[in-house]
Structure 1
Amino acid sequence: MSGFTRHRKSGAAVTTFTAFEADLLRSLAGQLIELLRNESATEEIASDDLEDLLDFSGPTREPEDPVLARLFPTAYPEDEDAAAEFRRYTEADLRNGKAAGAATVIDTLEDAGLPAEPQDGLFIDVELDPATALTWLRSFTDMRLAIATRLGIEEGDEEFWYSLPDDDPRAQVHDIYDWVGYLQETLVRAVGG
């Protein structure tokens, strides 16, 4: 398992993944896209002609899925109407941006040579320009928030996670959470120079 480093000449962030690691990242990004696209949080709201033209038909209530609620927290918890209006005008674009970022992770891996069915012994060399690296960093954050929410990870509970037996599925998912965090940390260093 290697993290990202900065390429001396190009300044790009580079790493090499095994086919298994690259496929795991592709799977996490795909699951994130699916989650972002599947839950409908919109309700019919009376609108005027200008709003119809600009399509402000975004979600107005907090998502039911706890991961989506964590990714899109309520902006004004003390004012339900203001929160609904804010969400209506912003959440659709935020969802689209997060989904596009996850799609960039997938596209980058596939452009680097990740086949539809990973092969043993295959290595994938990834090179990220600064803009793509920032997109990956945001996607890593989204992936880690999703995993942390599903597992119930809280600050300061490392001892619990490290005490789980290796064959516990939660321990295995926590290892993925840690790995994505490691990738994120090394990518930050590679981008920062």
Structure 2
Amino acid sequence: MPGHFEPRPGGGASITLDEVEISILRSLAVQLMELIGPGEEPVEGADPLAALFAEGPSEPPSDPALARLFPDAYGGPDAHQGDESAKAASSEFRRFTENDLRTRKRDDAHDMVRALDALSPGPGGSAELTLDPRRSARWLGALNDLRLTIGTRLEVGDDDEGAGLYRLPDSDPRKPMVMAYLWLGVLQETLVETLMPS
């Protein structure tokens, strides 16, 4: 089966990607970074210790994809109806964790872009990507974030995994996004398998 990760001796993973696959993955990773946002630039001369304790937002994002990437810590949005203590706890948790989580997710996607940019497709138009165990974990995070984002845009529920999406006609404008979602699922699944001990 083409386009899946294989384990490497000593840890890590490798995959052969063609130019189209490289381009699609890179484009998706860049779009993910744009969705997450640029992050806060440190103020010149600012106290680095104070930056460690910088507070983030206390409210969940209004964009459904961002809300999926940065969910409430205590239940979902509907769980807070009438439960002010859960809402307050979620807000407090978000204030002190979301900035770091955004940074990590952005860094994972940026690592994906850097790795793809370093590839040089050969005469056949494909290149082998090799990831060490640390980079494999970063890619796994980025693939998961991409699938969550696309799944949210496609309105894939937790229960159905979008069963109806498999039967979309080719003329449906969502079809390319569905194909990307399914392909990312294969990449994610095979990368997980390479990280599992034999």
Shared fold, TM over 0.5: yes
- Structure 1 equivalent of residue 115 of structure 2: 108
Greater alpha carbon shift after TM alignment, 151-160 vs 57-66: 151-160
- Structure 1 equivalent of residue 140 of structure 2: 137
- Per the TM alignment, residue 38 of structure 1 is displaced from its structure 2 partner at its CA by 6.2
Where does 1:106-185 land on structure 2 (aligned, <5 Å)? 106-113=113-120, 121-154=124-157, 155-156=159-160, 158-185=162-189
Q: Indicate whether 1:2 and 2:3 are aligned.
A: yes
Distance 1:153 1:120, change over 3 A: farther
In structure 1, distance between residues paired with 2:125 and 2:192: 26
> In the alignment, residue 190 of structure 2 is paired with which amino acid?
T
Distance 1:60 1:158, change over 3 A: closer
- Contact residue 36 and residue 99 of structure 1 kept, 8 A: yes
Q: Indicate whether 1:25 and 2:22 are aligned.
A: no
- Secondary structure of the structure 2 residue equivalent to 1:127: strand
In structure 2, distance between residues paired with 1:96 and 1:54: 12
- Per the TM alignment, residue 173 of structure 1 is displaced from its structure 2 partner at its CA by 0.8
In structure 2, distance between residues paired with 1:98 and 1:104: 10
In structure 2, distance between residues paired with 1:132 and 1:39: 22
Distance 1:25 1:133, change over 3 A: same
- Contact residue 26 and residue 105 of structure 1 kept, 8 A: yes
In structure 1, distance between residues paired with 2:135 and 2:17: 17
Percent of pairs with identical residues: 40
- Structure 1 equivalent of residue 14 of structure 2: 14
- Secondary structure of the structure 1 residue equivalent to 2:59: coil
> In the alignment, residue 55 of structure 2 is paired with which amino acid?
S
Equivalent in 46, 69, 72 of residue 71 of structure 1: 69
- Structure 2 equivalent of residue 46 of structure 1: none
- Contact residue 162 and residue 171 of structure 1 kept, 8 A: no
> What do the CA deviations read for 1:83-113 (whole angstroms, capped 9, x no partner)?
2221110000000000000011111111223
- Structure 1 equivalent of residue 192 of structure 2: 188
- Structure 1 equivalent of residue 43 of structure 2: none
- Per the TM alignment, residue 11 of structure 1 is displaced from its structure 2 partner at its CA by 3.6
- Per the TM alignment, residue 169 of structure 1 is displaced from its structure 2 partner at its CA by 1.9
> What do the CA deviations read for 1:4-48 (whole angstroms, capped 9, x no partner)?
1113x44431111011101111111111111111699xxxxxxxx
Structure 2 residue ranges without an equivalent (≥5) = 41-46, 75-79
C-alpha RMSD of matched pairs (Å): 2.5
Q: Indicate whether 1:58 and 2:39 are aligned.
A: no
- Contact residue 101 and residue 136 of structure 1 kept, 8 A: yes
Normalization by structure 2: what TM-score? 0.81
- Contact residue 109 and residue 124 of structure 1 kept, 8 A: no
Structure 1 residue ranges without an equivalent (≥5) = 41-48
In structure 1, distance between residues paired with 2:175 and 2:52: 46
Distance 1:112 1:53, change over 3 A: closer
> What do the CA deviations read for 1:99-143 (whole angstroms, capped 9, x no partner)?
0000111111112237xxxx9952121001111101111111110
